[in-house]
């Protein structure tokens, strides 16, 4: 590739980190600009009241190969653990327990026994759920007509009762799509079921982060980027992007100091609504589409008990407002003898409006219903983290709005979990999108595709806008003061 070309990557989440590493690997001079004082974007940790909290519980699946490969590169994969086989402990009020576990049979038989044994449903409902699971496997997630449909209508048409939706379908859909199954895009739901559960027996084995997200993502990413020669500027806000005769001018800066950076290519790796603000006038149509993509919130409760109340690394609530519970005692640094549970609440539109006291009043009794040991325990800490725009809203029609990495403007690409990777807003989507954006600008700069050519979701050559003249592939980063 055009050695020495300068590429600016705006946004230091997983998409920006991945794109910056790929561009540096290809020989570019890369500068990564991130407004916050740390890398990792939507997946981060904070210290609060003596605990290290993740802003939200993040899990991944065995089939998240791009994300897992990135962690290998960062050297932090060893701080994660993938289940030997999919197993979700289920907790119901009154201390009742169950489990959703795959068999060692090939797909799709690996799930048959789990569904047949799903006790919250009648035998007839279980058989009907198996038929619907097989039917979802036959849908084409890339069909616009499927994207336009809600999963709720489809489930009703496939005779899934309200109870089946609440106690089975939402166990998968809520945490992966961050909207309830009734409101979800059928295309995204079909993709998750096919890729995450049906394509191979082990695809859906769950991966857990056993250390804080900052230790697994943000901190090692900074070291890896610096080793790769990327200049990382933290606390730097991008505010405008303009096309130059050759390349791009990115304005922004840290605090009140503003500057303009000239670069040959730029990758905008921001959340979608921020990207819409930064994109240049020539990309107005993309910006308009991005403004049509909604957001969906996630609330996490961080509860420290004075003793152990949960005897599994994580569990799901059934017939309970508690969705998923995770034991974060070690990762969060809770005092010996205590147990720190993180309660993850996806699609949490109503919980976003509740005060801390209201959340306490609603969820502590609900946890006690699921975990009888919690009734005898004392709550030492109760903290709340809220992410208003945790993910894009995976509503019907959203796939039609998601842009690819190409903007149609040579040397300008988009990266982010919201771009058209086929995945919902996940760690995996962000990493795939970063590879795709890097490949796009490297091609535009006149190079081949030295990286990520086998990455799913990476852009093909078809439809590529004209390559940037080779002469533009010269480094001319010039940071000048701007009032």
Ligand X SMILES: Cc1cc2nc3c(=O)[nH]c(=O)nc-3n(C[C@H](O)[C@H](O)[C@H](O)COP(=O)(O)OP(=O)(O)OC[C@H]3O[C@@H](n4cnc5c(N)ncnc54)[C@H](O)[C@@H]3O)c2cc1C
In the complex, which residues of this chain contact ligand X (CB under 6 A)?
A: 10-16, 33-36, 41-43, 55-60, 237-238, 269-271, 274, 298, 387, 390-391, 416-417, 425-430
| Rounded CA separation 382/405 (Å) | 41
**Complex with ligand X: residue 110 or 274, whichever CB lies closer:** 274
In this structure, the chain runs to a length of 483
**Complex with ligand X: residue 168 or 342, whichever CB lies closer:** 342
**Complex with ligand X: residue 149 or 421, whichever CB lies closer:** 421
Q: What's the closest the beta carbon of residue 457 comes to ligand X, in angstroms?
A: 13
| Rounded CA separation 111/344 (Å) | 25
Q: What's the closest the beta carbon of residue 8 comes to ligand X, in angstroms?
A: 10
**Complex with ligand X: residue 58 or 118, whichever CB lies closer:** 58
**Complex with ligand X: residue 299 or 451, whichever CB lies closer:** 299
Q: Which pair of tokens denotes residue 311?
A: 């005897």
Determine phi and psi for 18, rounding to 5 degrees: -65, -45
**Complex with ligand X: residue 154 or 392, whichever CB lies closer:** 392
**Complex with ligand X: residue 132 or 427, whichever CB lies closer:** 427
In 314-431, DSSP assigns E strands to 314-317, 324-327, 339-346, 379-392, 412-414
**Complex with ligand X: residue 6 or 128, whichever CB lies closer:** 6
Q: What's the closest the beta carbon of residue 454 comes to ligand X, in angstroms?
A: 21
Buried b (16+ CB within 10 A) or exposed e, 405-430: bbbebbbbbbbbbbbbbbbbbbbbbb
Q: What's the closest the beta carbon of residue 54 comes to ligand X, in angstroms?
A: 8
Q: What's the closest the beta carbon of residue 113 comes to ligand X, in angstroms?
A: 26
Q: Cα–Cα distances in Å, from 144 out to 102, 181, 186, 398?
A: 31, 18, 10, 10
Q: What's the closest the beta carbon of residue 320 comes to ligand X, in angstroms?
A: 19
CA geometry: angle 246, 250, 256, nearest 5 deg: 150
Burial class (CB in 10 A: 0-12, 13-18, 19+), 85: middle
Q: What's the closest the beta carbon of residue 140 comes to ligand X, in angstroms?
A: 23
Tell me the HSE value of 330 on the side-chain side, using a 13 A CA sphere: 6
Could you tell me which of 277, 273, 279, 288 has the C-alpha nearest to residue 388? Answer: 273
**DSSP codes joined into one string, 46-58:** EEETTEEEESS--
Q: What's the closest the beta carbon of residue 115 comes to ligand X, in angstroms?
A: 23
**Complex with ligand X: residue 332 or 447, whichever CB lies closer:** 332
Q: What's the closest the beta carbon of residue 352 comes to ligand X, in angstroms?
A: 12
Q: What's the closest the beta carbon of residue 386 comes to ligand X, in angstroms?
A: 9
- Asked if 209 contacts 4 with a C-beta cutoff of 8 angstroms, the reply is no
**Complex with ligand X: residue 20 or 164, whichever CB lies closer:** 20
Give the SS3 label for residue 254: strand
Residue 135, preceding peptide bond in cis (omega within 30° of 0): no
Indicate if the alpha-carbon torsion angle 404, 405, 411, 412 is positive or negative: positive
- Asked if 60 contacts 428 with a C-beta cutoff of 8 angstroms, the reply is yes
């Amino acid at each position: 590739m055009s050695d020495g070309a300068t590429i600016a990557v705006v946004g230091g989440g997983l998409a920006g980190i991945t794109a910056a590493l790929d561009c540096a690997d290809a020989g570019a001079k890369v500068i990564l600009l991130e407004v916050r004082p740390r890398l990792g974007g939507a997946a981060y940790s904070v210290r609060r009241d003596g605990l290290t909290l993740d802003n939200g519980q993040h899990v991944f699946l065995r089939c998240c190969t791009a994300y897992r490969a990135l962690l290998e590169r960062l050297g932090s994969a060893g701080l994660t653990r993938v289940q030997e086989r999919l197993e979700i402990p289920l907790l119901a009020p009154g201390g009742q327990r169950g489990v959703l576990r795959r068999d060692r049979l090939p797909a799709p038989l690996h799930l048959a026994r789990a569904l047949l044994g799903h006790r919250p449903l009648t035998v007839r409902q279980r058989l009907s759920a198996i038929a619907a699971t097989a039917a979802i496997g036959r849908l084409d997630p890339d069909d616009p007509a499927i994207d336009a449909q809600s999963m709720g209508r489809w489930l009703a048409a496939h005779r899934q009762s309200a109870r089946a939706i609440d106690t089975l379908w939402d166990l998968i859909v809520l945490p992966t799509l961050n909207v309830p199954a009734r409101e979800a895009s059928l295309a995204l739901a079909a993709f998750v079921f096919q890729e995450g559960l049906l394509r191979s027996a082990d695809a859906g084995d769950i991966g857990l982060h056993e250390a804080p997200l900052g230790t697994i993502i943000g901190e090692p990413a900074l070291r890896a980027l610096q080793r790769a020669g990327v200049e990382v500027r933290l606390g730097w806000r991008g505010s405008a992007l303009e096309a130059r005769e050759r390349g791009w001018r990115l304005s922004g800066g840290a605090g009140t100091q503003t500057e303009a950076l000239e670069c040959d290519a730029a990758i905008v790796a921001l959340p979608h609504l921020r990207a819409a603000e930064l994109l240049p006038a020539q990309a107005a149509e993309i910006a308009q589409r991005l403004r049509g993509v909604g957001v969906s919130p996630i609330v996490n409760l961080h509860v420290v008990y004075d003793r152990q109340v949960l005897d599994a690394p994580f569990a799901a609530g059934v017939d309970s407002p508690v969705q998923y519970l995770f034991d974060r005692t070690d990762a969060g640094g809770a005092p010996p003898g205590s147990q720190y549970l993180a309660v993850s609440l996806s699609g949490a539109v109503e919980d976003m409006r509740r005060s801390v006291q209201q959340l306490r009043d609603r969820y502590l009794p609900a946890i006690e219903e699921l975990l009888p040991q919690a009734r005898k325990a004392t709550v030492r800490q109760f903290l709340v983290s809220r992410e208003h725009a945790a993910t894009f809203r995976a509503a019907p029609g959203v796939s039609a709005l998601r842009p690819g990495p190409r903007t149609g403007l040579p040397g300008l690409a988009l990266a982010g979990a919201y771009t058209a990777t086929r995945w919902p807003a996940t760690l995996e989507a962000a990493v795939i999108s970063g590879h795709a954006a890097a490949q796009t600008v490297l091609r535009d700069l006149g190079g081949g595709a030295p990286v990520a050519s086998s990455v799913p979701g990476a852009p093909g050559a078809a439809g590529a806008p004209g390559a940037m003249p080779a002469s533009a592939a010269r480094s001319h980063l010039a940071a000048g003061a701007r009032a």
